[in-house]
């Protein structure tokens, strides 16, 4: 990772970050998301709509946030997302929702943990209940692209007025994009003028 990206990893984190690396828990200086060893494994994504490549320390940090009972990492990773993303002309920012049953199981929605500090950083409204997952969907890990699309088709409903608006939908990881496509479809049907998507990390 070059100096420019190391710099970006530090932007805005001075108040938010814990004194330990988001991936390996090594002590780091105030204002750093990752230790220098882990930062070297974090790759900026070159594809649109994704801030980083899923892998290395970024994958470790996301896994820790979601499954390691570390929702506090959402603020750090959300600040990184805000630093790495360009957001212009967006009217409202909405996270990909979890089904209420899954939300109770996990205790938090990781996409909302990322989208909230992002919305605050770019001064756009944060709408955590704009989208609702109305149908529980099996975990997608073992499914191929076609199966994922069928799995999430019709799973989302729009619960706010979006007619004529540009909506940014935020998720933690994009694999095939099937979930974000289903959200986009629901928003366009509800009258959104434009739907953009942004993820913290995209599977290579
Ligand atoms: Zn580390």
Q: Is the dihedral of CA 114, 120, 125, 129 positive or negative?
A: positive
pLDDT at 182 over 80: yes
* pLDDT reported for residue 13: 52
User: For the chain, what percent of residues have pLDDT higher than 90?
Assistant: 71
pLDDT at 6 over 90: no
Determine the distance separating the centroid of ligand 1 and the alpha carbon of 137, expressed in angstroms. Answer: 34
Determine the distance separating the centroid of ligand 1 and the alpha carbon of 33, expressed in angstroms. Answer: 9
Q: Report which of residues 6 and 108 the model is more confident about.
A: 108
* pLDDT reported for residue 45: 95
Q: How many residues does the chain have?
A: 204
pLDDT at 11 over 80: no
Q: What is the pLDDT of residues 57-97, one digit of tens each?
A: 999 999 999 999 899 999 999 999 998 887 889 999 999 99
CA separation (Å) from 109 to 7, 24, 65, 104, 201? Answer: 28, 22, 10, 9, 16
* pLDDT reported for residue 86: 79
Q: Report which of residues 186 and 88 the model is more confident about.
A: 186
Does residue 172 sit in helix, strand or coil?
A: strand
Determine the distance separating the centroid of ligand 1 and the alpha carbon of 100, expressed in angstroms. Answer: 33
Determine the distance separating the centroid of ligand 1 and the alpha carbon of 60, expressed in angstroms. Answer: 9
Determine the distance separating the centroid of ligand 1 and the alpha carbon of 115, expressed in angstroms. Answer: 24
Q: Which domains does the chain have, with CATH numbers?
A: 3-202 (3.40.50)
Query: Of the ranges 22-31, 102-111, 171-180, which one carries the lowest mean pLDDT score?
Result: 22-31
Q: Return d(Cα 73, Cα 52) in angstroms, integer.
A: 16
Looking from the CA of 202 toward its CB, the CA atoms found within 13 Å total 18
Report residue 180 as tokens.
């974000």
Contacts (Cβ under 8 Å, ≥6 apart) of 192: 158, 162, 163, 164, 165, 166, 167
Determine the distance separating the centroid of ligand 1 and the alpha carbon of 161, expressed in angstroms. Answer: 42
- Could you identify the residue written with the tokens 């996990």? 106
* pLDDT reported for residue 1: 47
Determine the distance separating the centroid of ligand 1 and the alpha carbon of 61, expressed in angstroms. Answer: 9
Determine the distance separating the centroid of ligand 1 and the alpha carbon of 94, expressed in angstroms. Answer: 30
Determine the distance separating the centroid of ligand 1 and the alpha carbon of 6, expressed in angstroms. Answer: 13
């Amino acid at each position: 990772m070059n100096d420019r990206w190391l710099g970006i990893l530090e932007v805005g984190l001075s108040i938010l970050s814990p004194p330990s690396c988001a991936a390996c828990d090594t002590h780091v200086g105030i204002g750093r998301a990752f230790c220098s060893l882990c930062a070297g494994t974090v790759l900026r994504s070159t594809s649109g709509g994704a801030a980083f490549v899923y892998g290395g320390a970024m994958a470790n940090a996301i896994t820790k946030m979601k499954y390691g009972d570390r929702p506090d990492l959402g603020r750090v990773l959300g600040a990184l997302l805000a630093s790495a993303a360009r957001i212009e002309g967006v009217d409202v920012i909405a996270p990909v929702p979890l089904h209420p049953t899954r939300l109770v199981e996990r205790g938090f929605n990781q996409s909302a943990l990322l989208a909230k500090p992002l919305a605050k950083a770019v001064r756009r409204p944060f709408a955590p209940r704009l989208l609702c997952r109305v149908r529980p969907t099996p975990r997608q890990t073992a499914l191929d692209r076609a199966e994922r699309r069928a799995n999430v088709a019709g799973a989302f409903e729009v619960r706010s007025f979006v007619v004529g608006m540009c909506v940014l939908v935020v998720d933690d990881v994009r694999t095939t994009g099937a979930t974000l496509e289903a959200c986009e479809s629901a928003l366009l049907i509800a009258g959104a003028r434009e739907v953009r998507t942004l993820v913290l990390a995209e599977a290579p």
